[in-house]
Amino acid sequence: MAVPAGKTLTRQDRAGDTFYVLLEGEAEVKVDGKRRRVLKPGDFFGEISMLDRGLATATVTTLAAARLFVMSHAQFRDAIKGSDQLMLKGAEGDGRALARGLAAKR
């Protein structure tokens, strides 16, 4: 998915139903209005809401035009349900390994 600079992808305290992997560009992560980090290609977000079905823990906005790999909750669930190892990694909170595993499955 291609998005322009300035596009808000998730909003803190709102329902999150999408998992994102940043393929190109940069995005800013804010918690309670304060910048926490800048995401670079290979970084991901949305996994917490995918696992606990809770609200987004941060607001993420693109800083530059970006390209993202995007999965709906159903796609994410099916991807980790099909792999006991991915499910375990998700339960352990090992997001990097989870993202690598999901990327390898596509």
Q: Where are the domains of the chain?
A: 2-105
pLDDT, residue 85, reads: 58
Confidence tier at 17 by pLDDT (50, 70, 90): confident
Distance CA 5, CA 26 (A): 9
* Comparison of pLDDT for 66 and 96, the residue scoring more: 66
Helix (H) or strand (E) holding 74: helix 73-81
Q: What is the pLDDT of residue 51?
A: 76
pLDDT computed for residue 64 by the predictor: 95
Least trusted range by pLDDT, from 27-31, 47-51, 72-76: 47-51
CA nearest neighbour of 3 among 58, 60, 82: 60
Question: How many Å apart are CA 105 and CA 94, to the nearest integer?
Answer: 17
Please give the average per-residue pLDDT across 3-25, as a whole number.
94
Answer for the pair 79, 48: CB distance below 8 angstroms, yes or no: no
Closest CA to 15 of 65, 76, 73: 73
> Predicted confidence band at 10 (pLDDT cuts at 50, 70, 90)?
very high
Give the pLDDT score at 94: 47
Of 22-31, 50-59, 60-69, 82-91, the range with the lowest mean pLDDT is: 82-91
CATH code given to domain 2-105: 2.60.120.10
CA dihedral 47, 36, 34, 8 (to 10 degrees): -50
